Amino acid sequence: MTSQTSKVHDNKQELDEKSVIDYAVPRRLELSAHEAGLMPSLKSRLAETRFPGELKSAGWSYGIDTNTVKMLTHEWLHNYDWEKELDKLNRDYDHWTCRINGLDIHYVRHDPWATQVQDPATGEKVEGPYASKTAINDKGEIIMPLLLIHGWPGSWYEFGKTIELLKKRGRFQIIVPSLPGFGWSQAPTEKKFGIRSMAKTLHELMQHLGYKHYLAQGGDWGAIITRTIATLYPEHCLAIHINMLPCLPPRPWTRPFQFAKAITGFLLPEAVYTKNPREKASINGLKLYAREEGAYFFLQATKPQTLGHALHDSPVGLLSWLGEKYLSWADLDPFKPETWPFSKTELLNQIMIYRSTESITSSIRIYYEAYHNRDVEWMLRRPVPESVPVGVGVWNKELFMVPKAWADDWMNIVSWHEFSKGGHFAAFERPVEFEKEISEFFTRDGIIDLFTAKRRGLKI
């Protein structure tokens, strides 16, 4: 081989090495549908929908009513513009992706305090992929990394309006991931990727981005994952806020009186919780969920692939399944869409995220893995470490909520606020109220002091 040939070979090898993508390095992501030509095919399917009959005056007692599905299908077919909505999602939010725990994880990020680095190709300064050590904003206020975690049938978009409000407040470095198997995050390809694996992945994401210490908030599965993160990584996740609270009764060996009250109150809530209507409503809500609402949980926890075939193929099947959850779990009158706390377009955006990314089947596997790995049981039987302060927002129509006395035995609750309106999707339904609640909790003096001490390397 001549020296000239060798030089060309070396240059080619150098270019090949540079062209190899390091998927661990955070990189910008433009959201797009997985299927080329999605909308013409979708509109054709919507136009050919066959709707079932229903019983007269059945209302929603048998599930989502046909008139509501027809109305939303008409909206989807004739008035909804996915390309326009997708452009807005790309324009209004900074989307990133990187490989964590073997999966490409999508996340929305807002961190104006991040260190700027030089783009090797253009030489211009761009926002760096890792967190800076800047600790204060322009007003001299402490800034802290905040991880927001969605559940099912939610997505990162559930926090869209909250992200905008948090940006204006200027107190948080914001990370909002899509859970593995949801939206634009890669789905696990092996069994047993449950709640603890989700928690590990999101914790490693925060560490990878340079946020050694952080705060976390979640509802639905996001609340369960948030509690799991706090339990597994209390030296890093310094405070949490949740707006759903499945919890066991107090332990008889730690709080015998409260244990006895809890058992009696579960059997006879009308007699025990006479002075607190919210506690009585929580117990009755748990019973109602078990009796009338929870069948979907066991279907998704046992036969997700069977259900997935129907939901993946049929757009109106997907609309019906997800729409029924949004419209029955939120605090609203499903027969009065003009009064809904989110618009029909916003609801369809949530459904289109699942449809366009073909992620409905992988998303419902979270139920199977959590159920068969006993992840929820594992979480419920482990107290959140005392060192992690907990805030709880109790919205009026939350699916899973227990009396505060139950939760006090399992976590260090320093803030508990009840709200007269709002349901299971607090961030989506009541974004102004939700943002104020979590911001005021995370900027409490005690949490800021804890965060500052940890940043300085002090042992608490």
Burial of residue 323 (number of CB atoms within 10 Å: 0-12, 13-18, 19+)? buried
Pairs from 278-283 (Cβ < 8 Å, separation ≥ 24) = 278/394, 278/418, 279/403, 279/404, 282/401, 282/402, 282/403, 283/402, 283/403
- Rounded CA gap, 290 and 279, in Å? 17
Residue 329 φ/ψ, nearest 5 degrees: -90, -20
Q: Which residues are known to be catalytic?
A: 220, 367, 424
What are the beta bridge partners of residue 242? 218, 392
- Which of 358, 319, 305 is CA-nearest to residue 186? 358
Helix-then-strand count for the chain, H and E: 20, 11
Helix, strand or coil, per DSSP, at residue 264: helix
Rounded CA gap, 282 and 308, in Å?
Answer: 32
Which tokens is 412 given? 């260090």
H-run or E-run covering 238: strand 237-242
CA 191-248-422 angle, to 5 degrees, is: 85
Q: Which helix (H) or strand (E) holds 240?
A: strand 237-242
- Which residue has 């030296």 as its token pair? 235
Beta strands in 321-411 (DSSP E): 389-397
Task: Output the DSSP codes for 289-346.
Answer: IIIIITHHHHHHHH-HHHHHHHHHH-HHHHHHHHHHHHHHHSSS-TT-GGG-SS-HHH
